[in-house]
Amino acid sequence: MRRWTGVLGLVLSLLFLYWALQGLHLGQVWTLVKQARYVWILPGVAVYMVGLVVRAWRWHYLLRPVARITTGDLFPLVAIGYMGNNIFPARAGEALRAVLLKRKHGVAISASAATILVERVYDGVVMLAFIFVNLPELSRLTADSGFVGDIRTLALGGTGVFLGVLALFLLAAAFPRHAERWVARALGWLPPKGRDRLLPLARRFLEGLAALGSPWEALMVFATSVLIWLLETAKYWFVMHAFDFQVSFFALMLMNGVVNLATTLPSAPGYVGTFDAPGIAVLMAYGVPKPIAAGYTLTLHAALWLPVTLLGWYYFLREGLSWKVWEKVETDA
């Protein structure tokens, strides 16, 4: 399954990359990239790192019912996880940080996996909110981007998926005893050996949802998620000033929402193509010439990828880890 997922991701990345670069003169794009005012990337990286700290705090908040771990202790694991997402396929960094959390703090992988899944669901909800905020503006866009016309369908379909999963999580957190009984009934058709193995894992997974047990807790996680993605959009805004075009902050929110939903598709490591093609398309819909849109999007992608990958690699080495830990991820996760 992992092999086929990797092959599918590579094929999709190549298709999206072909779509992104179709009709471009790469020499012209490279000239624009070389002429960019890179001083603007520095504040962009700074606000992104603030967002990474907020991500670590959100994880600390979600983990509180399971284990009391400080934000400072979780920050290196978050950085390592994002490094893993950037260099391994299928967002494998999420499994890596769950395994490292068990190794360092003894938290069951099934419980930490629940908190990580909650993060991803809230991130998806916020991305869809960024798109919905811009739907009135989107209806006025007439540029032939080849992509933007489908955003309404994407938003409506994605909303049903993410809100449905979130509703299940909230119900399970609000009524844990009922949820445990529902899970036990759902697993009742399995043979006793399989049921006895999966039921403890399911219980620990439900424990990982405990941070959503009240409306206030759920609201706190949502507010934190909004802050995280506004900070990332601020990076988009700073990097924009390195190039000769201007769009509104709301347009960059739309771009952020679209590209991050697109990167949930299988892709090559680093979201090659699945980040770039929709990003270029959104900017073209706002009237940005394709060479500038491509130069900006590729530079932004590199600015998002490189700093956190280097930081994660630093913490990976500082923790005395080796790639043998990947064997642990594949066997435990």
Q: Which helix (H) or strand (E) holds 93?
A: helix 92-105
- Which position has the token pair 């435990």? 332
- Model confidence, pTM: 0.85
Expressed in percent and rounded to 5, the helix, strand and coil fractions of the chain are 80, 0, 20
Quote the CA–CA distance of 50 and 55 in Å, as a whole number. 9
- pLDDT tens over the chain, length 333 residues: 566 677 888 899 999 999 888 889 999 999 999 999 999 999 999 999 999 999 999 999 999 988 999 999 999 999 999 999 999 877 888 989 999 999 899 998 888 988 998 898 889 888 888 887 776 776 666 444 455 555 566 666 666 777 788 788 888 878 888 888 887 888 777 787 777 778 777 777 777 787 788 888 888 999 999 999 999 999 999 999 999 999 999 999 989 988 998 888 888 889 999 999 989 988 998 889 999 999 999 999 999 999 999 999 999 999 887 766 656 555 554
In the chain, where the domains are located: 2-19+34-332
pLDDT 10s digits, 195-209:
777 877 777 777 778
Which is nearest to 225 in space by CA: 119, 88, 76, 85? 119
- Do the Cβ atoms of 280 and 52 come closer than 8 Å? no
